[in-house]
Structure 1
Amino acid sequence: MPKLFHLRCSPRAASESSEGAEAFVTRFRQARPDWEIDVMDIWRESLPEFQGDVLEAKYARLGGREFSDAQRNAFAVIERMAMRFALADRVLISTPMWNFGIPYKLKQWFDLIVQPGLTFRFDPAQGYFPLLKNRPTIVILASGGDFVTGMNRGRIDMASPYLREILRFIGISDVRFALVGPTAGPAEPARLAREAAHRLLAEMAAGF
C-alpha cells in the first residue's frame, strides 16, 4: 500500500499549520482513498536526546568501529525513525515558523535522522552523497508575518531555505512550499490568508 508520511510539527492541534494540514489531508484522502497516512507528531512521540550512547554510536560509525550493545540499541531507535520517513512515497511536513526559523523539535528530528551511512554518505575524494530516494514533498509553513505577498516588513524567512537544503542534502529535491500567513494581527487579513492557503492546499492535495 502506498504511503503518505505526515510530519506534524506544531504543539497545537488548532494551529494554522495543523489546520492547513487537515485541509490538505482531507482532500488527499478523497483523491487517494487507498493510501496509508502515517502521522508522526514530534511533540507526542518520543525523540531521543542526541547524547550518550546514540552520539557515541555516530562516532563509532564514523571511525569504522563496531557498536557496543548499548550503542546498537540506541542507534536502532534512530534507524527506525529514518526508515519510517524513507519508506514513504509522498511526504507532508506541516510546521509553524518560530523566530524566523523552525521549531526546536523539528530541528532535533533532523539532527537525529541526518546521519552518515543512514541518510547520507561521505567520500573523502568526492564529497557528500544523499542516500534517500527523491519523492514529492510538500511543506506547509505558517507564520505570523506575511511572507506570501512580500509584506514581511523586512523580516527574513530562514525556515524555507533551511528545510529546502536539509531535505536536498539527504536526497529530496522535489519540494514545494505552501505558505500560510499572516496568522497574527488584524483578523480580516488573517482570515483571507487562511482561506487562500486552504484553497491552494486542496488543489495541491488533489494532484499530489
Structure 2
Amino acid sequence: MPKLLHLSCSPRPDSESGAGAQVFLDRFRQLHPDWDIDVADLWRERMPDFAGPILEAKYARMNGQGFSDAQRAGFAEAERMALRLSLADRVLISTPMWNFGVPYKLKQFIDIIVQPGLTFRFDPSQGYVPLLKDRPTLVVLASGSDFSTGMNRGRIDMATPYLREVLRFIGISDVRFVAIGPTTGPRPSVEAARERASKRLAAMAANF
C-alpha cells in the first residue's frame, strides 16, 4: 500500500498550517482511497534530545569508530525516524513560521535524521552524497506575514530556503511550497489568504 507521511509541526489544534494540510488531505483521500496516511505529530512523537549518546554516535560514525551500547541505542532512534520518512512515497509537511524559521520540534526531527551513513554520506571525490530517494513533497507554511505577494512587513522568510536545502541535502528535491499568509491582521486579509491557499491545495491534491 502506498504511503503518504504527514509531518504536523504546529502545537495548536486550530493552526492555519494544520487547516491547510487538512484541506489537502481530505481531497487526497477522496482521490486516493487506497493510500495509507501516516500522521506524525511532532509535538507528541517520541523524539530524543540531540545530545549525549545520539550526538556521540554521530561523531563516532563520522570518525569511523564503533558504537558503545548507549550510542547504538541512540542511533537506533535516528534509524527509526529516518526509516519512517524513507518508506513514504509522498511527504506532506505542515508548519508555522516561527521567528523567521521553523519550530524547534521540526528542527529537532531534522537534526536527528540528518546523520552520516543514514541519510547522507561523504565521498572524498564527490563531496556530500544524499542517500534518500527523491519523492514529491509538499510544505504548507503559515505565517503572520504575506510572503506570497511581497507584503511581508519587513520580515525575512528563512524557513523556505532552509527546508528546501536540507531536504535536497538528503535527496528530496521535488519540493513544492504553499504559503498561507497573512494569518494575523484584518479579517478580510486573513480570510482571503486562507481561501487562496485552500483552493490551491485542493487542486494540487489531484496531481501529487
Query: TM range, normalised to the smaller chain?
Result: over 0.9
Equivalence map 1:165-180=2 (5 Å): 165-180=165-180
Aligned length: 208
**Matched residue SS, 1:7:** strand
Q: Report the Cα offset of residue 125 of structure 1.
A: 2.8
Name the residue aligned to 1:28.
Answer: 28
Q: Which residue of 2 aligns with 1:111?
A: 111
What does residue 151 of structure 1 align with? 151
Unaligned runs of 5+ in 1: none
Once residues 139 and 88 of structure 1 are traced to their aligned partners in structure 2, the CA distance between those partners, rounded to angstroms, is: 15
What is the RMSD of the two structures over their aligned residues, measured on CA atoms? Answer: 0.8
Residue 156 of structure 1: how far off its partner (Å): 1.1
Unaligned runs of 5+ in 2: none
Letter in 1 for 2:159: A
User: Deviation of residue 100 (structure 1)?
Assistant: 1.1
1:138 is displaced (CA, Å) by 0.3
Aligned-partner residue type, residue 181 of structure 1: G
What are the Cα deviations for residues 37-58 of structure 1, in whole angstroms up to 9, with x where unaligned? 1111110112101111111111
Counterparts of 2:78 and 2:126, CA distance in 1: 26
SS at match of 1:169: helix
Alpha-carbon separation, structure 2, partners of 1:59 and 1:114:
12
- Runs of 4+ aligned residues of structure 1 deviating over 3 Å after TM superposition are none
- Provide TM-score, normalisation by structure 2: 0.98
Which amino acid in 2 is paired with 1:134?
D
Whole-angstrom CA distance in 1 between matches of 2:124 and 2:21? 41
Instruction: Name the TM-score, length of structure 1 as normaliser.
Output: 0.98
Structure-2 residue corresponding to 1:18: 18
Q: Given residue 86 of structure 2, which amino acid in structure 1 is its aligned partner? A: A
- More deviation, 152-161/81-90: 152-161
CA–CA distance in 2 between the matches of 1:57 and 1:193?
A: 44
Q: Secondary structure at the match of 2:128?
A: strand
What is the CA–CA distance in structure 2 between the aligned matches of 1:180 and 1:97, rounded to whole Å? 10
